[in-house]
A and B are shown apart, each in its own frame.
Chain A
Amino acid sequence: MIRAPYDRPEVLEKLRPAFAAQRSLILPGACDPKAAPRVRWRRFDLANRGRYDFAELRPMTELHRFAEALAGARLKPAWTRLYRFRHGGYALFFDDAHLRVESGIELTLDLSRQVAGPPVVYQSSPTSRLEVPQVPGIVAIVERSPATYRYDRYFPAEVGRASVLRLRAAFEYGR
């Protein structure tokens, strides 16, 4: 799922100082959308949290190693989920609050086939925000802290019939 050269430990080791300085990294072209797993979708629709399809996945060793190599720390897999957003979809801070790890790393792999939708936004204060654009193949690595929340911005009608796939893997610091 992770594309070369980001599957090589020595490459990730070179990126580690950048991650340590920014507490986040966005790597275009770092994953392969063709590797999106086939899943049985479950619908989530609770107005005050979000509207999307999702599937729980088993922890993926490849992503675990990738996250540990970038973070330079031992990590414990918390959960792995594939999300599908279409027109009318969204996920609010309150949805993130139910599942987020408060001290760890979150990976988001964009496994969509096309550029269609709005970004994912991580926010830790009104002035501190990170936007992860919706671009197939992009991988975002974000350190989660108690003050950091995430939302998936609303998917307006202009996305048409497209669907956006986001694979998320959360890891907690320590074992």
Chain B
Amino acid sequence: MSATNLTKTLYDKVWDAHQVHQQDDGTVLLYIDRHLVHEVTSPQAFEGLQIAGRKPWRTDSMLAVADHNVPTTARDAGIEDPVSKLQVDTLDANCDAHGIVEFKMNDHRQGIVHVIGPEQGATLPGMTVVCGDSHTSTHGAFGALAFGIGTSEVEHVMATQCLLQKKSRNMLVSVDGEVGPGVTAKDIVLAIIGHIGTAGGNGSAIEFGGDAIRALSMEGRMTVCNMAIEAGARAGMIAVDQTTIDYVKARPFSPSADQWDAAIAAWRDLVSDDGAKFDKVVHINAADIMPQVSWGTSPEMVAGVAGVVPDPTVETNEIKAEGMRRALHYMDLKPGTAIADIKIDKVFIGSCTNSRIEDLRAAAAVIKDRKIADNVKLALVVPGSGLVKKLAEEEGLDSIFSNAGFEWREPGCSMCLAMNADKLESGERCASTSNRNFEGRQGQGGRTHLVSPAMAAAAAIAGHFVDVRSF
């Protein structure tokens, strides 16, 4: 056997450590360490268990929270929409019946499932983490193998603590060198998706590496891995280093003091070996990345803030050109329009991509002592969790936002997907720190432009997109 056959990628290591059994055809029974649960994709799974007379295999592997449907105002009044209320009540009842830990709507720890997992130390390096939600890729920032699953698989994990899986291919996206000032994790990941496309990672687990990724905080790394799914990869991963270990230490569900040394010794190996084989490698020069703004209806449709809306007539790939025409029609944009000339109606700072404390600090730094523009009808800040909200308030960020004309809300998914009352009206244009600009995503007929928190904040003040680096 040659030396290269002994080397493993980070993904190989976590995958191998969780194999319970391998069938002759290569299908693997993969053990799941952590199962995060929310109200939208779990009711049918709980019902399935009940119909089959089964019980959850390991309730202590589960952590549940309602996030998609919860209102971001007047929580004490409960949920007004009866359909949303039934879904949240159903989660509460299912968790109570099975003894599953749930942060209920008025618990101070409640928040977006992908924010609270890491915040609580429920997400740990080397774990397999699943949730009935595609943005589960977020947790890969910890050197965990984390991916979204559908409701049938939610039921499968509940019943067996395992999933039947085929191994994905190994892909490395290396962001080499340093990013310039004002360029954030969000800009890095949007630039990556713009480069490799929304199907670029299909069938692969992407490891994000390179100096620019290593230099990111854990929160920045979560932003990058969060959007791995927008590049088509079910899982994004980042190797463990001291930044990871420092973040995980002393959180409620982190290893106890007597387990700590053994845990970090094991975690230090959660890196791809030198010479490990990747099926595909993409290099991106960090210095080339500008603050990004999406102009279309797919996350690959991005441009630098100094750029213009592209012209489909110069696109040589006819499928792409047709997609661009549809997108420009939906977005009501003309080719050649400067990104900085696009005016906005609403601003949304939040979502599992960008609602953590560093995101709020970055936005607050831009708007301090300024006011939102007259043409901005609504600017929302929705913290990722009750704990993020509390910390922000201790730092006085809520006053900075309120003084500028932003609304300071309760935690949840909110206008990222508009399942609650927060949404765009038809034709409205939004600068959003969320992850998807699909047609209708933030409300039927709504137009979404994906940006970083600092860029969203600057757009709120200017009333149109503006380069935050010279703002």
Partners in one complex: no
